[in-house]
């Protein structure tokens, strides 16, 4: 299952039943779990910690040195969970002294030529579209979908269950459950199709819609909208997530 033409450093730790193709490069200080497939010409570099059942396609580079001039060679990691699909020419950089690690959860799809910068934290069940670029220290919550050619500014926070339309760029935080589009990126309504696919009830979707109407579709400013949400909408976990995201987790401010 391991090609004789692959390079595997003697210090690397490879799990059971892995398949490693010709001209793949596995660096020292790398740990790869069970049942992973590293395809030809893929590189898994220093500091990578990979779980089980991951597929890394041709030309991908995992754990590359951060593209950050402040990086001085510190010993950092790139931590990948389970069941991820990392397509052709994807790059995922390891961390810097800022956080010490880049973290990718499980069950994600990174489409061809996408990039995850240093110190990012990517949740579970996300889709990052072709040629989308995620700058350093971005946080993306679970089940977010970014279409092709999306650009995300450093330090942004993207909420869960969102859909960002292709070609968007954002330098602001994106709260959960919504669709984002246009240029510059703007709120374009609720991600109703995505929520229904994830099993959200009609009542829950209605409450989420009403919450965002108070923030985006009225004359309220954000602070007034949040106050009215607390007064008028049942504080379910979904509504609490929205309120906490905007009040406590958003440092750059949310998109308009």
Indicate if 256 belongs to the active site: no
10 Å Cβ neighbour count for 87?
Answer: 20
The count of C-alpha atoms lying within 13 angstroms of the C-alpha of 125, restricted to the half-sphere facing its C-beta, is 12
Q: What is the predicted pLDDT for the residue at 218?
A: 77
Q: Which of 68, 82, 119, 141 is catalytic?
A: 119
Q: What is the predicted pLDDT for the residue at 221?
A: 87
Q: Would you identify the CATH topology of the domain 195-249?
A: Udp N-acetylglucosamine O-acyltransferase; Domain 2 (1.20.1180)
Q: What is the predicted pLDDT for the residue at 83?
A: 98
Tokens (6 digits) for 86:
């990392």
The model carries a pTM of 0.96
Which of 84, 153, 75 is closest to 122 using CA atoms?
84
Indicate if 157 belongs to the active site: no
Q: Which of 41, 118, 142, 160 is catalytic?
A: 118
Q: What is the predicted pLDDT for the residue at 56?
A: 98
Q: How far apart are CA 237 and CA 251, in angstroms?
A: 21
What number does CATH give the domain 7-137? 2.160.10.10
Tokens (6 digits) for 142:
């679970």
Q: What is the predicted pLDDT for the residue at 140?
A: 98
Indicate if 153 belongs to the active site: no
List the chain domain ranges: 7-137, 195-249
Q: Which of 33, 136, 159, 160 is catalytic?
A: 136
* pLDDT averaged over 10-residue windows placed end to end, the chain, 256 residues: 97 98 98 98 98 98 97 97 98 97 98 98 98 98 98 98 96 97 92 96 97 88 92 96 95 92
């Amino acid at each position: 299952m391991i090609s004789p033409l692959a390079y595997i450093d003697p210090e690397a730790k490879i799990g059971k039943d892995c398949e490693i193709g010709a001209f793949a490069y596995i660096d020292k200080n790398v740990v790869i779990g069970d049942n992973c497939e590293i395809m030809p010409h893929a590189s898994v570099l220093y500091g990578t910690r990979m779980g089980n059942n991951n597929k890394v396609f041709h030309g991908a580079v995992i754990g590359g040195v951060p593209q950050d001039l402040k990086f001085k060679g510190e010993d950092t990691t790139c931590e990948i969970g389970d069941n991820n699909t990392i397509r052709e020419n994807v790059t995922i950089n390891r961390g810097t002294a800022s956080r010490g690690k880049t973290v990718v959860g499980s069950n994600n799809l990174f489409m061809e030529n996408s990039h995850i910068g240093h110190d990012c934290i990517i949740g579970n069940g996300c889709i990052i579209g072709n040629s989308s670029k995620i700058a350093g220290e971005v946080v993306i919550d679970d089940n977010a979908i970014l279409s092709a050619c999306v650009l995300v500014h450093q330090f942004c926070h993207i909420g869960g269950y969102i859909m960002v339309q292709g070609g968007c760029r954002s330098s602001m935080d994106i709260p959960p459950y919504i669709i984002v589009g246009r240029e510059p990126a703007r709120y374009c309504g609720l991600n109703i199709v995505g929520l229904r696919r994830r099993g959200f009830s009609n009542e829950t979707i209605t409450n989420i819609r009403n919450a965002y109407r108070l923030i985006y579709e009225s004359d309220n400013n954000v602070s007034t909208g949040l106050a009215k949400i607390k007064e008028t909408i049942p504080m379910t976990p979904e509504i609490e997530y929205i309120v906490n995201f905007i009040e406590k987790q958003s440092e750059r401010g949310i998109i308009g």
